[in-house]
Amino acid sequence: MGKITVSAPGKLMLLGEHAVVYHHPCLVITVDQRIQTTVEVIDRNEFQLEARDVGISGYKKPISKLGKGHIPKGAKFVEIAVANSIGHPELVSGFRNKFGMTKEMGIRIKTESEFPSQYGFGSSSAVTVCVIKALSELFNLKLSKKEIFNLAYKTVLDIQGKGSGFDIAAAVYGGTLYFLTGGKTIEFLNVSSIPLIVGYSGVKSDTAVLVNKVKKSFSNKKNRLDEIYNSIEVLVNKAKAALIKKDWEMLGDLMNQNQNYLKELGVSTPKLDNMIKAALDSGAHGAKLSGAGGGDCMVAVVSDEKRGKVIGAIQSAGGEIIDIKTGAEGVRIE
């Protein structure tokens, strides 16, 4: 039977949160902490999953029941990714061509992560991409990056009902990306690394809840919401140019402006605000929350000389420093 192991990187949003859900661009970077997924074809008509990082152990169900009935939260993205893949005409054909249909066939999957799921590094998207890439390779289809993106994005929409897909793109393509909602634009930027410090607030947030919160709180102020998102788009486009020039001071200033809009949207928190202020007071070029807000991480752009001081300040404000490098490779076979 066939067996393969693939991995995909985590991600951080640099600029463009929330606006990206509504057809505005964002900048997203990958981090060098990865999720590894082993997918194996087995001779039982069964789906099996071990994902202990998210509390799933010994989970199994018949292949015919994939995507149906109760699905534990930690199993959702993997199971729906498999269901979508097996339902994909080319994958069905590939399955028949490679393994035939005379025996009972099933899928066993094991996932392992180098980072906790609560960090907001996009673990659900990364594992979804891993599963689809692995099935593509096992069935000898060699799906393109865009085809993997499309199938993974469909999976996210099936589960969440909304989402921009930027974290899927990061997991597929790697590096630093300029991204437009739904993958209408996925532009790879030639930026090897960014002098970032990442601080975790200690609070896990829920993206869908926060997106809905913003929508509800601005239901009577739609014009202002549009103004904010249009202004964030201007910042993203300027930050793209700053990244390419490695103008870290300019990037920092644009991040600060983006953070002000995120505060107006109501998605920052006192803890994140304190961590960001501590970074800026200690000499960071710029700092902002990264992701949906409500918790998760903040990021700061810092010169080498100020790095130690800024790290100490974020820790003093109660943040946990996450040691990462940026610009990691996208999904790959291990």
Please give the pLDDT value at position 225. Answer: 97
Q: How confident is the model at residue 118 (pLDDT cuts 50, 70, 90)?
A: low
CATH class of the domain whose range is 196-322: alpha beta
Q: What is the mean pLDDT of residues 274-280?
A: 98
Q: Supply the pLDDT for residue 160.
A: 86
- What CATH number should be reported for the domain whose range is 3-191+328-333? 3.30.230.10
Between residues 304 and 295, which one has the greater pLDDT? 304
Q: Which regions of the chain does DSSP assign to beta strands (E)?
A: 3-15, 25-42, 46-51, 56-62, 106-113, 176-180, 185-189, 196-200, 286-290, 297-301, 320-322, 332-333
**What residues does each domain of the chain span?**
3-191+328-333, 196-322
* Catalytic (active-site) positions: 167
Region 114-136: mean pLDDT is 85
Bridge partners (DSSP) of residue 42 are: 106
pTM given for the model: 0.91
Rounded to an integer, the average pLDDT of 44-55 is 90
The answer to whether residue 114 scores a pLDDT higher than 90 is no
Report the percent of the chain where pLDDT is more than 90.
72
- Look at residue 96 in the predicted model and tell me its pLDDT: 57
- Give the number of other Cβ atoms within 10 Å of residue 230's Cβ: 11
Instruction: Name the band, by pLDDT with cuts 50, 70 and 90, for residue 252.
Output: very high
CA distance linking residue 13 with residue 319, whole number of Å: 18
Express each pLDDT in 317-332 by its tens digit. Answer: 999 999 999 999 999 9
**According to the model, what pLDDT value does residue 102 have?**
44
Task: Give the model's pLDDT for residue 101.
Answer: 45
Sign for the CA dihedral angle at 283, 285, 290, 294 comes to positive
User: What are 181-211's pLDDT values in tens digits?
Assistant: 899 999 999 998 899 999 999 888 888 888 8
For residue 197, list its beta bridge partners: 300
- Residue 98 in this model has a pLDDT that exceeds 60: no
Per-residue confidence (pLDDT) for residue 64, from 0 to 100: 85
The answer for residues whose C-beta is within 8 angstroms of residue 138's C-beta and 6 or more apart is 2, 3, 4, 39, 41, 98
Q: What is the pLDDT of residue 120?
A: 67
Write down the mean pLDDT value for the chain: 91
Q: What is the pLDDT of residues 14-25, one digit of tens each?
A: 999 999 999 999
Q: What are the residue ranges of helices labelled H in 100-206?
A: 123-138, 145-160, 166-173
pLDDT number for residue 84: 86
Nearest to 199 by CA among 123, 53, 297, 272: 297
Residue 163 pLDDT level (bands cut at 50, 70, 90): confident
**Better-predicted residue by pLDDT, 160 or 243:** 243
The pLDDT value recorded for residue 286 is 98
Per the model's pLDDT, the better-predicted residue between 193 and 289 turns out to be 289
Q: For 50-95, write each residue's pLDDT tens digit.
A: 999 888 999 999 888 988 999 998 899 999 999 888 776 666 565 5
- The CA distances from residue 172 to 80, 168, 223, 305, 328, in Å, are 18, 6, 35, 34, 11
pLDDT score for 268: 95
Residue 301: band (very low, low, confident or very high) from pLDDT cuts 50, 70, 90? very high
